[in-house]
Amino acid sequence: MVGELKEKIAGEIALSQDPGKAIRKWREEFGLSQHELAEAMGISHSVISDYESGRRKSPGVTVIRKMVEAFIKLDIEKGSPVISRYLPDYRMDCILAMDEFDRGIDENVFISAINGKNLNNEKTPVKRIYGYTIVDSIKAILNLSSEDYLKIYGWSIERAIIFTNVHYGRSPMVAIRAHPLTPAMVVYQRPDETDQLAIKLAKLEGIPLVATELSVEELVQRMNKLKEGN
């Protein structure tokens, strides 16, 4: 998806009658100074200045490629505001898999199906799971706006939100706690360790916080089996 934007930028610079003007346009579009762009490319800022002013001839393919890669890399580090503006569906790359169940699945059956362990040892209201969403936690935190966040709930909030790329699990639970919608269950896929604050927040929300060591592929297979037997 980002490749399309890269091609657009590179093509506009390469084919422009005034490449320097095109470079400046895209640099300013990404909110970068000449120094920031030059540093990301590993060149002197005077080179960028010379291209934009026309003192240097049109950059070659290698320079344009490095420039476009720098634009994209720096934008991702800022949370991808420009990429998301040009590619509205980009933010949702954080959703790895998503589906609904025809009928609710008992939370204990769900936990057993994913070889999970409930880290919230306090008794919570009995939940039924009507769907699941597997989310890359790092991409979600970096890219999702409040409005985008709603999309991870699909047809029902009574679902399991399964977070991958979890180190300690604090940030995903803080995000859950901060949002008015609360899922029926939160699952951490192969967490390095679970922060006590995450467990405390799960207790405050009254939801199971489950850890599983299954791979994403195995999780999807288990979800499909649950759906078939639903």
Whether 203 and 191 map to the same domain: the answer is yes
Going across the sheet that includes 117-118, the strands are 95-106, 128-136, 160-164, 185-189, 209-212, 117-118
Average pLDDT, the chain: 88
Whether 119 and 30 map to the same domain: the answer is no
**At which of 88, 115, 139 does a domain end?**
88
Most confident of 3-17, 66-80, 175-189: 3-17
Residue ranges making up the domain that contains 112: 91-228
Measured CA to CA, the distance from residue 157 to residue 131 in angstroms comes to: 8
Whether 37 and 149 map to the same domain: the answer is no
Domain count, the chain: 2
Average confidence (pLDDT) over 73-88? 80
Whether 66 and 126 map to the same domain: the answer is no
Q: Over the stretch 134-183, which tens digit does the pLDDT of each residue have?
A: 988 887 776 666 666 777 777 888 999 999 988 888 888 888 888 888 89
Whether 172 and 101 map to the same domain: the answer is yes
C-alpha dihedral sign at 203, 192, 213, 77: positive
Report the pLDDT value the prediction gives residue 118, as an integer from 0 to 100. 94
Ramachandran bin of 183, using left for φ above 0, alpha for ψ from -120 to 50, beta for the remaining angles:
beta
Whether 111 and 78 map to the same domain: the answer is no
Q: What is the pTM of this model?
A: 0.62
Whether 187 and 82 map to the same domain: the answer is no
Tell me whether residue 161 is exposed, middle or buried, using C-beta atoms within 10 angstroms of its C-beta: 0 to 12, 13 to 18, 19 or more: buried
| CATH assignment of the domain containing 68 | 1.10.260.40
Measured CA to CA, the distance from residue 92 to residue 192 in angstroms comes to: 25
Whether 125 and 99 map to the same domain: the answer is yes
**At which of 88, 111, 141 does a domain end?**
88
Token pair for 221: 């297979």
| CATH assignment of the domain containing 220 | 3.40.1390.20
Whether 46 and 57 map to the same domain: the answer is yes
User: According to DSSP H, which parts of the chain are helical?
Assistant: 2-15, 19-29, 34-41, 45-53, 61-77, 81-86, 107-113, 137-143, 146-149, 170-178, 196-205, 216-228
**At which of 53, 88, 123 does a domain end?**
88
Residue 114 has pLDDT above 60, yes or no: yes
